[in-house]
Amino acid sequence: MCGFLGYIVEKNSHKSGLDQKFDFYQKKMNHRGPDFQTKIKFEENDTIACFGFNRLSIQDLNTNANRIFRNDDYLLLFNGEIYNKLNLIQKYLINQKFDTQSDTEVLFKLLTKFGTKIIKEIEGIFSIIFYDINSSNLYMIRDYTGTKPLYYFNDEKNLYFASEAWFLYSLSKKKLNFECLNFYFRYGFSPNSKTLINNVLKVKPNTILKFNIKKNQILDYKIIDFSKKNNFLKENNSSLRKDLSKSIEKNLIGDRKIGVFLSGGIDSTIISLTTRKINEKIEAYTSIYEDNELEKDIDYGYTKRICDQFNIKLNLATITKKEIFNGDLLNRISSFFDEPVANLNIISSYKQSKLANQNDLSVIITGDGADEIFGGYRKYQTLEISRKLKYLSFLNKKIKSYTIKNDKIPYLFFKKNDNENYKYIFKNDFFNSIIQIKNHLFENYNEDNLTKLNKFDFYNWLPDEHNLKLDRCTMANSVEGRVPFQDLTILKYFNPEKIKNKINLNKNKLELREAFSDLPNYILNRKKRGWFLDDKKILKHFLQKNAYDLFKTNSGEEKIFNEENLLNSINQDNKLLNKFSLTTIVMFKLWYRQVMDC
């Protein structure tokens, strides 16, 4: 697992300070690859190209693998893991000679032999830069569900790219994108092709983006069309169990110690217990806020019970009230988030990853993705219950609102802020700019509302909220986060058109529960709940001391917030600004002041 950055620019547009910025931001990404760092710079025709690479060695710890793979015609930067490396060698490279045991060399040989069409056969997590020097084509490739990040900035005929966006922010004019701000303040994350800064873009998940240097032309196309590949619902649940076991076994590849995040819910429990059967030395990681009583914490109680019953070593990360109150922890964590995410679970994930690193672990496995694929969110059941009980809508306003036949229904589940919040939060000029932007989020989906919800979760929430959060928190501590539920073996179970078959009035994830029906009843029957529910208390403790310094407008920043209203709301506990509203503001401000320092 690694980090990279680079540029290809016309000679006459190469600015004197570019290389200094390049070196600074490559060093800033050291947490993504603390084991080795290098860069290559060369001239080709009328361009100057520079590629930087930081390596976290997990497969092949030999120093011979510490390099950028290139020859006279091609160059490769790779961030990720290929789980089916040996199968690909047997199928396509059986007579090839290898200098290393790294999956990067395998990928380099595959791409130079077959081109990007081979990508659809790769099982793993990845973001890739592949440069065909002779044709002047550079390919930016991101995995199926966006587990690994990849950003780019196209300035006339110059292209810049990186695993983290800070380098690109520093090259831009740092102008805020009002369309993305509208999206962020409503939903708590950025849409999956843009960032909050104009012209700094993301390669979309499941996409190969082709950039021709000479023509300054960008084309993108899907690696796999999920709508065509996954048009069925498995009826044989024993197949699901076998497929997940295979996926987890593949995710255990590597030459370093491996652990699991365990919340006590069904997803992480399945991951942990299946992993335990394959590797008895597996360790679990969970967390708790110091201000809570340990014996009364529900999540910890379930987690400890599982570990005691199945003899799994449990590592507990404690979040202290002092580090929250002083702002030290949240400020440090936010320094790794090149995109703001309105979810304070980042604190839990960060602390657990830090403890894993201290215990010499380099890989953490999680249950992320199961909710989107198998129908795990409560909103699916809520909408389905409302549909089936619509004849009782006269008794309940909420049921009535969910049974209205129009495209506004999905917004009832996702939109966290409305115009009244906006008017109170923002300065008038900013409010007037952002409120005029129409959000077309759900208009792209023509299906029924339940399908729309599931598609939004899979194509937006999963890559740009869940996976972004996991990647930044783990890699901040030089730990790789892996997600077996998002392997190609399991992604074939994703079918939003048949989401109704995966839930009923009483339970969700019917398919998954049936496949693992031998789990303890206290897990199978546990109600869905978010992990780490003390965010309201943590937010309150953080703002008690840090609100004034955080919300004041710093030099260079646009005047966005009505600071007086914000501070009054915090001091008087104004109900207009709920927990989510304040979290979006806090995470945005922590992010924005770092962007202005780029």
pLDDT of residue 293: 61
Lowest mean pLDDT among 157-161, 293-297, 489-493: 293-297
- DSSP structure class, residue 461: I
Mean pLDDT along residues 237-247:
89
pLDDT per residue over 192-215, tens digit each? 899 999 999 999 999 999 999 888
Residue 379 resides in a domain: no
Q: Is 399 part of a structural domain of the chain?
A: no
Mean pLDDT value across residues 288-313:
84
Question: What type of residue is 407?
Answer: D
Q: Does 485 fall in a domain?
A: yes
Q: What is the pLDDT of residues 549-558, one digit of tens each?
A: 888 777 777 7
Which SS3 state, helix, strand or coil, does residue 275 take?
A: helix
pLDDT at 141 over 90: yes
Residue 99: band (very low, low, confident or very high) from pLDDT cuts 50, 70, 90: confident
- The answer to whether residues 251 and 297 belong to one domain is yes
Number of other residues whose CB lies within 10 A of the CB of residue 423: 15
Residue 451: band (very low, low, confident or very high) from pLDDT cuts 50, 70, 90 = confident
Domain identity same for 304 and 420: no
Helices (H) and strands (E) in the chain, counts: 26, 17
Encoded amino acid at 158, one letter:
N
User: What was the pLDDT predicted at 424?
Assistant: 78
Q: Is 395 domain-assigned?
A: no
Total domain count, the chain: 3
What strand order describes the sheet that includes 361-365?
Answer: 313-319, 283-289, 257-261, 361-365, 480-482
pLDDT at res. 396: 53
Distance CA 10, CA 39 (A): 19
- Tell me which residue range forms the domain holding 583: 406-449+535-597
Of 479, 500, 524, the position where a domain reaches its end is 524
In the prediction, which pLDDT does 348 show? 94
Q: Could you tell me if residue 384 is inside a domain?
A: no
Is residue 480 situated within a structural domain? Answer: yes
Query: 277: closest CA among 311, 254, 300?
Result: 311
| Pairwise CA distance, residues 137 & 215, whole Å | 10
In Å, what is the CA distance from 559 to each residue of 229, 336, 431, 580? Answer: 48, 24, 11, 21
pLDDT of residue 422: 73
Helix (H, G, I), strand (E, B) or coil at 313: strand
pLDDT, tens digit (0-9, with 9 covering 90-100), for 557-574: 778 888 888 888 777 765
What mean pLDDT is predicted for residues 307-329?
94
Domain with residue 82: its CATH number is 3.60.20.10
435 and 473 co-located in one domain: no
- Write out the DSSP string of 464-496: IIIIHHHHHHHHTTT-EEE-GGGSHHHHTT--G
SS3 content of the chain, % helix, strand, coil (to 5): 45, 20, 35
- Residue 385 maps to a domain: no
- Cβ atoms of 425 and 585 closer than 8 Å: yes
CATH number of the structural domain spanning residue 304: 3.40.50.620
Degrees (nearest 5) of the Cα angle 323, 329, 330?
Answer: 120
Asked if 218 and 159 sit in the same domain, the reply is yes
Nearest-angstrom CA–CA distance, 289 and 310: 25
pLDDT confidence bin for 178, thresholds 50/70/90: confident
**3-class secondary structure per residue, 100-116:** CCCHHHHHHHHHHHHHH
Q: What backbone phi and psi angles, to 5 degrees, belong to 357?
A: -65, -40
The answer to whether residues 412 and 467 belong to one domain is no
Query: Is the model's pLDDT at 487 over the cut of 80?
Result: yes
Residue 117: exposure state from Cβ atoms within 10 A (0-12, 13-18, ≥19):
exposed
Sorting pLDDT into bands at 50, 70 and 90, what band is 176? very high
Are both 210 and 234 inside the same structural domain? Answer: no
Q: Which one-letter amino acid corresponds to residue 200? A: V
**C-alpha separations of 393 from 152, 238, 410 in Å:** 49, 40, 18
Average pLDDT score over residue span 269-291: 92
The per-residue pLDDT for 528 is 65
Q: Is 143 in the same domain as 50?
A: yes
The pLDDT confidence band at residue 349, using thresholds 50, 70 and 90, is very high
**Residue 430: what pLDDT?**
78
Whether 468 shows a pLDDT value over 60: the answer reads: yes
Q: Are 35 and 80 in contact (CB under 8 A)?
A: no
Task: For helices 579-597 and 535-551, give the axis angle rounded to 10 degrees.
Answer: 40
Could you report the per-residue pLDDT of 11-58, keeping only the tens digit for each?
887 877 899 999 999 999 999 988 889 999 999 878 899 999 998 766
Q: Is the pLDDT of residue 150 over 80?
A: yes
Dihedrals φ, ψ of 81, to 5°? -140, 140
Q: Do 160 and 212 lie in a common domain?
A: yes
Give CA–CA dist 489/234, Å, rounded: 12
Residues 128 and 174 in one domain: yes
**Rounded mean pLDDT, 392-401:** 54
Same domain, 19 and 167: yes
CA distance 98 to 120: 23
pLDDT confidence tier of residue 60, bands split at 50, 70 and 90: low
546 in any annotated domain: yes
Backbone torsions φ then ψ of 587, nearest 5 degrees: -70, -35
Tokens representing residue 290 in the block: 């110091």
Given 501, 524, 547, the domain boundary residue is 524
Q: Taking the C-alpha atoms of 220, 221, 222 and 227 in order, what is their torsion angle to the nearest 10 degrees?
A: 120
Q: Mean pLDDT check: name the lowest of 305-314, 367-376, 579-588.
A: 579-588
Task: Find, among 578, 593, 595, 574, the residue nearest to 539 by Cα.
Answer: 578
Q: Same domain, yes or no, for 199 and 322? A: no
Confidence of residue 393 (pLDDT cuts 50, 70, 90): low
* Domain final residue, candidates 493, 524, 555: 524
Where do the H-state alpha helices sit in 71-102? 85-92
Same domain, yes or no: 61 and 185: yes
Least Cα distance to 128 among 41, 205, 201, 65 occurs for 205
Residue 570 tokens, joined:
């915090």
| Average pLDDT in the chain | 86
Whole-model pTM?
0.93
Question: Rounded to 5 degrees, what are φ and ψ at 29?
Answer: -90, 15
410-425 pLDDT, tens digit each: 556 665 666 666 777 8
Rounded CA gap, 388 and 128, in Å? 46
Beta carbons within 10 angstroms of residue 114's beta carbon:
12
Percent of the chain with pLDDT over 70: 86
